Chain A
């Protein structure tokens, strides 16, 4: 499998950035999976470290709060022996008014090879990519994209269900504001899954806005119907600010209609997976018993996140030419 991967890899021009999944082919996604499998093996070793990025510098630029993605990228880079620097807006010159580009130019001058960026503004990683000579990994930008999350979701689905193609995946909740949903739409569409978006209309917008870009999808306002025959149920975090903005009448009504409950999970296929990118509002968009049920893949998502991020750094660094 690795040998096959190497051959495919060498035929393709080297990817420089990971900004979204819209420019990933099925082959490239499978290549990431193969690399992630190797990384999972590395993470089971007594010494969970390989010298892939020795002498390279990875800067985590987290301009927006994050626990799992930031720690996950940090662990991934450290497991590959990189020098890792993590920055947040609060403790940096951003609090003194320094612009994003000034920061990027500074990091470049300091010798950064990779910038992993989390930012509240959609598109910020594209701005960085235009002005940085190294590689940029998007760790979540505004409502736009979260490619490493979508890849770890796809990887988890494949690991648990064997295949992605033809699977019915229901994404539930605040889709309008979700970068996880958008990157998953690209990835799931490319891998041949059937996607249903299920949310109240105020958290979705018009059907046509989605269908023009992702033609195969289905839109539903009825979760009880949508879960029928589903292979994957993916709940999204509901931001409480949506209530203040008048998009929802109450948390209570939202939860009654769109929470992932044991009853709703029971209507899906028996082996159906329950997923959530975190952080969760247990009792609002997902019930605690669902989170801990055997069908839940939420912890594996987190574990697989490290392997996926190692795989992405590894492939950007040159992939197969480096021995593990």
Chain B
């Protein structure tokens, strides 16, 4: 221990490495949007030491060979741990179950057709029932396509004012209610992805109280932003929060995300749901896109926010405004997602391998998407002044990200990558 480096983290928080239960790394197939190398470098910069990758790649991760291929790329390229999520149905078509047992053996931590819902209730029932023998969750993107139609923003005051097709809250809640009934019927573990409405929180609370095998996640953007951001400079902005939607023009496609940003009432219900343990964890739903995907008419733009590198400062706004406590926040980023993913939780006891995140909760800085390690620069919070920044991310004692000037040390793969990106 004598030659060990001493890192001066005074004034900083040291937390177990964050686990992201839901992100899109786009490889294989959409490497113009993101690769495992760039996505995991972004994760390291965001304080994440494990990311669970959604299977809506091209082709979809629906065979054991595809899982092994993904893990092979990760072994060569990844900066942080990558845990695959496999598709529920072949090709994410919603028709035939994948070979879930073999996928689980190959390393899938759960199953999801994310990007699309498992819309057929019969298939969803079978998936929940079958997965019981594997102890892995079915992670559903709840969106009733018949109700949502071509909706692009939350249906309500903002969609009416802007004349944009509405995505009603009931489009999510109808499927959450269905999945609760099916989880109750089968005893299978349903995990609700990116919960966005007050109604969903109520349904999940009631189901949990009854003992239904259900867990849920919420994204940083649904916890912090509302559909007022789609109005941009036209919004009333009486939130008094540290972030200002007024920096955006109306119809900025960087606010387009699925499920859409909701009302303030929904946002408050999500915060309370997380605080009360109704929502188990925070997941980024990191969805990187190219400029070409986004610099088009609102209705035609891709859904998604590049979220890994801004998650912590956005979430800290809730701690700073005393809406969440720091321990609750860290729990929702570490222990709870680990439990859902069936990953051994990280502990920071003496002698444990150091898989951790050091962040400075005080430092103020301005988000600059141009400096992201992610290829996806698509974030509505670009240019916002925020408080709290990840300084160092370490996996088993090896630095995978270290902000320049934060002590000096061994330097891992990500910090070298970081240097390259900063020079650009």
Contact = CB atoms under 8 A, between A and B. Distances in A.
Given A22-B234, A99-B296, A101-B295, A126 B163 contact: no
B134 interface: no
Interface stretch (B98-106, B153-161, B188-196, B217-225): B153-161
Contact of A213 (B161, B164, B292, B297): B161
B157 A208 contact: yes
B297 A209 contact: no
B135 interface: no
A142 B299 contact: yes
A258 to B, nearest CB: 20
Contacts of B300: 121
A121 B299 contact: yes
Contacts of A213: 157, 160-161
A203 interface: no
A100 B161 contact: no
B162 interface: yes
A182 B157 CA distance: 13
Interface in A104-134: 119, 121-124, 126-127, 130
A144 B160 CA distance: 8
A123 B297 CA distance: 7
A100 B301 CA distance: 12
Contacts of B130: none
Residue of B157, B160, B234 contacting most chain A CB atoms (<10 Å): B160
A123 to B, nearest CB: 3
B393 to A, nearest CB: 36
B383 interface: no
Contacts of B298: 121-124, 127
B296 A144 contact: no
Contacts of B13: none
A260 B166 CA distance: 29
Contacts of A144: 162-164
A210 to B, nearest CB: 6
B363 interface: no
Contacts of A101: 295-296
A212 B264 CA distance: 14
A119 B160 contact: no
Nearest to B146: A246
B297 A100 contact: yes
Contact of A119 (B161, B162, B164, B297): B297
Contact of A182 (B163, B251, B296, B299): B163
Residue of B164, B251, B300 contacting most chain A CB atoms (<10 Å): B251
Given A123-B297, A205-B166, 5 more contacts: A100-B297, A121-B298, A121-B300, A122-B164, A182-B163
Interface of B: 155-157, 159-166, 234, 249-251, 292, 295-300
Interface of A: 22, 99-101, 119, 121-124, 126-127, 130, 141-145, 176, 179, 182, 205-206, 208-210, 212-213
6 cross-chain pairs, A with B, having the tightest CB-CB distances, nearest first: A123-B251, A143-B163, A144-B163, A121-B297, A209-B160, A122-B163
13 contacts: A101-B296, A123-B164, A124-B297, A124-B298, A127-B251, A127-B296, A127-B297, A130-B249, A142-B164, A144-B164, A182-B161, A205-B160, A209-B157
